[in-house]
Structure 1
Amino acid sequence: MHTSEGKHVLITFARSFLTLELSRLMAAAGHRVTVVDSISITVSRYSKATSKFIKVPPPKFEPQAYCRKLSQIVVDEGVDLVIPIHEETDILAMMVGLFDPSVKLFLTDFATLDTLHNKVSFQRKLDEMGLPTLGFASVSNDAELAAVDFGAPFALKQSYSRGSQNIYKVVPGQPLPSPVYEDGNEWLAQEWTSGTSYCTYSICHEGRIYAHATYPVRYAIDGKSCLTFTETRHPGIFDWVTKIVAETNFTGQIGFDFIDNPDDGLRCIECNPRATSGIMMFREHNRVDRAFFGDNVDAAGNVELIEPDPDVDKMIGVGMLLYGWRKEAYPDNTLRGFTKEFRRAQDVITRKGDERPAVMLVPSYAAILRTCMKYKVGLAEAFMHDHEWDGRRY
């Protein structure tokens, strides 16, 4: 059943490699793609897969102007579906009233997004569902931090934060960190565990999964943000994701971080209710576009799940060059092992017949460096700084 041929999709956060790859997948399936961003020079803008680029206000700092601009673009350009990529997802959900009711935003309601995004409320939600969790506690001041006692090391991270930012490992008997406390952005103290780490990516409609990928954390920035992607079929993880998506009646893109410990079993560490790097694991023939439009359903109403090919092996090449060779990027990392991986994996940026995004990498990063100077943050933070959401209500 294919009813979505030749649609017009608008994809946000054009600087992202996720947007670039999704644009290529959509264009290959016959859809028209418009991309938007708050900076002018972005990799997706120069891809043959995109038909138009439009500069928009930064959603973090001008949320209403951002949403009004997108609403205008949808009407002016005849957009059929808006697919948000990063944490502008939360802002769009919060301000859905600024859009005409006929506009299709591929996301779930704000209350659900917030429950899943907030690291403390997400762990509480798992508790409510009867799913096992690591020990956790909410921390809003130094007294509450000092009172945390799991009898073991624990991680400390803000409820609204990205996986590679501001994580402390607190060890009993050692000096406590001095986190900055913010109203409305409490810290999560979460029992530290070891094991095999996995990430997931799913495309969902009203509590059902239409596409899904699971990939182990291998080469990564500081062991957190993945740089390489290989498909892994993990029934236990898929069962968890299925339960959470159904419980929340979720619609949109969603990812989860898991650790599989040999002694304690599977534990879900946090949720990212937005696009994740797993979208880059799909190939054109997988027709993952059908999942966004809800087309991969048989005559009986059963979802024909779309998954990546078992042999998929991809990487973010520029990320590997910047971080993959470092000791902390991979357990027992060696230059020889890194070189072998770099030669074997397919770069998600470089594409035969669509070379301009790779050519424009340097100018694109120069534009992001200007963001570094504007907001006085590092390169990794600047990449998404003006598209982050830290729990503020507008």
Structure 2
Amino acid sequence: MTTVLLTLGRLPKALDLARGFSKAGCRVLVAEPYGWTLAGASRHVAREFRVPAPAKGKAAYLAALTEIVVREGVDLVVPVSEETMHVAHLRGLLPPGTGLFTMPPGEVITLHDKSGFVRAAEAMGLAVPQSAPLGTAEAEALARGGPVVVKPVFSCSGRGLSILRGGEPLPPANPGEPAVVQRFVEGREHSTCTIAQEGRMVATMVYRGAVMSGSVAVAFERVEVPAINAWIERFVAGCGWSGFISFDFIVDAQGVPFAIECNPRATSGVHFWEPEDIARAVLEPAWAGPVRVRRHKALQQFYACLTETQGAMLRGKGFLASLKSLVTTRDVSWDWRDPWPFVSMIGTSWPIIWQAITKGARFGEVATQDVGWFEH
């Protein structure tokens, strides 16, 4: 039996991956700084291990993961979310024969870096917004020419992002937190998730946010945009990518997709695929698919959407639309054959809830604060 280690358990996408690998006949383990988590509550997870958070020490985190791999005879390590940038550094530390479903750390960090990603895409002749490092003459010229977006080169969940309309002064550059200035592209935002094997795009899901928590979608609908698929297929081939890889796009009025950033990891798009097919596509490099799509066109994270609906009621804006989405959309975690993750979600999500309350921050921001990669 193949033993798979997931390196995060707190997020719904970890639960989908756990269920998929289990249904594919694997023994599933979860390593997680929080201890008891959403995925760990599933009957599909054999065991969950508490590990140090990488934010508290990268070496201790990698040592704990390596110890689990060796002790439990892990065959494949699969990173789930923002911890991917740390987990990529396991390459070279794992026993012979143990797989790691992501690229080497240099390649992962390059694409996580918002400036590095733009350079990589431009080198392939792919459409990205004109960009320049904050603090340069090029960035100042961009800001004078029209609306721009300013964001740290290492961030997630919209942390530190600001949109400046034409003529507004740029913030001063901070050498300790480099940022990029990007031409603002008018259009509809789309997100994606791709499974890739050795430069081959095995499957891509394109989706749009229906209910947002800040800049993070907590309810989403899948859509078909062939031009986005073609963009991703060229990029994956150009990088020779293996692993999950995801992008955010703006599709302009002419239908041209501009990739505004890359997330070299899985995103919520995984919820639209049949979990067992995701596992097959990861386990078998030559998998020809198809990766079946679930029948639901729209999905939501119920408790996060409930919070946003309550907030909309208090703000007096958008309440009816949020309420309609809440009562009509399928939750990503619910499965009557495996109900405990949904039932126990308040308990397993308590560390995130408590931080959100005490810090006055949104769930998406605090959920990855201790596992994100925010430095060079």
Give TM-score scaled by structure 1 length. Answer: 0.87
Q: Which residue of 2 aligns with 1:292?
A: 282
Q: Does structure 2 retain, via aligned residues, the 8 Å contact 1:13–1:37? A: yes
Secondary structure of residue in 2 paired with 1:279: helix
In structure 1, give the amino acid aligned to 2:277.
Answer: R
Cα-to-partner distance string for 1:140-190 (whole Å, 9 max, x where unaligned): 47x7754543511100001100142111111233354457x243x421111
In structure 1, give the amino acid aligned to 2:254.
Answer: D
TM-superposed CA distance for 1:320, in Å, is 0.7
The 1-side partners of 2:127 and 2:138 are apart by 23
The 2-side partners of 1:367 and 1:268 are apart by 33
Q: Which residue of 1 aligns with 2:31?
A: 36
Secondary structure of residue in 1 paired with 2:234: helix
Residue 158, structure 1, aligned to residue 152, structure 2:
yes
Cα-to-partner distance string for 1:10-54 (whole Å, 9 max, x where unaligned): 111111111112111222232221111111231111111111011
In structure 1, give the amino acid aligned to 2:186.
Answer: S
Q: Which residue of 2 aligns with 1:119?
A: 114
Q: Which residue of 1 aligns with 2:289?
A: 304
TM-superposed CA distance for 1:192, in Å, is 1.1
Q: Which residue of 2 aligns with 1:195?
A: 187
My pick for the range that moved more, 127-136 or 89-98, is 89-98
Secondary structure of residue in 1 paired with 2:100: coil
TM-superposed CA distance for 1:253, in Å, is 0.6
In structure 1, give the amino acid aligned to 2:66.
Answer: S
Residue 253, structure 1, aligned to residue 244, structure 2:
yes
TM-superposed CA distance for 1:309, in Å, is 3.7
Secondary structure of residue in 2 paired with 1:211: strand
Percent identity, please.
28
Q: Which residue of 2 aligns with 1:367?
A: 351
The 1-side partners of 2:19 and 2:231 are apart by 30
Q: Does structure 2 retain, via aligned residues, the 8 Å contact 1:207–1:245? A: yes
Q: Does structure 1 retain, via aligned residues, the 8 Å contact 2:221–2:298? A: yes
Change (3 A) 1:324 1:242: farther
Residue 336, structure 1, aligned to residue 320, structure 2:
yes
Residue 319, structure 1, aligned to residue 314, structure 2:
no
Mapping of residues 127-276 of structure 1, within 5 Å:
127-140=122-135, 146-149=140-143, 151-177=145-171, 181-183=174-176, 185-222=177-214, 224-263=215-254, 265-276=256-267
In structure 2, give the amino acid aligned to 1:265.
Answer: V
The 2-side partners of 1:246 and 1:324 are apart by 41
The 2-side partners of 1:248 and 1:217 are apart by 27
Q: Does structure 2 retain, via aligned residues, the 8 Å contact 1:199–1:257? A: yes
Q: Which consecutive unaligned segments of at least 5 residues does structure 1 have?
A: 1-5, 298-302
Q: Does structure 1 retain, via aligned residues, the 8 Å contact 2:244–2:264? A: yes
The 2-side partners of 1:44 and 1:200 are apart by 22
The 2-side partners of 1:127 and 1:247 are apart by 11
Residue 49, structure 1, aligned to residue 44, structure 2:
yes
In structure 1, give the amino acid aligned to 2:198.
Answer: E
Give TM-score scaled by structure 2 length. Answer: 0.90
My pick for the range that moved more, 304-313 or 50-59, is 304-313
TM-superposed CA distance for 1:254, in Å, is 0.7
Change (3 A) 1:369 1:132: closer
Secondary structure of residue in 2 paired with 1:97: coil
My pick for the range that moved more, 66-75 or 334-343, is 334-343
Change (3 A) 1:87 1:248: same
TM-superposed CA distance for 1:209, in Å, is 1.6
How many residues in Structure 1 have an aligned counterpart in Structure 2?
Answer: 373
Cα-to-partner distance string for 1:287-326 (whole Å, 9 max, x where unaligned): 22111012663xxxxx334252464321111111112565
Secondary structure of residue in 1 paired with 2:323: helix
My pick for the range that moved more, 101-110 or 308-317, is 308-317
The 2-side partners of 1:373 and 1:62 are apart by 25
Secondary structure of residue in 2 paired with 1:287: helix
My pick for the range that moved more, 254-263 or 351-360, is 351-360
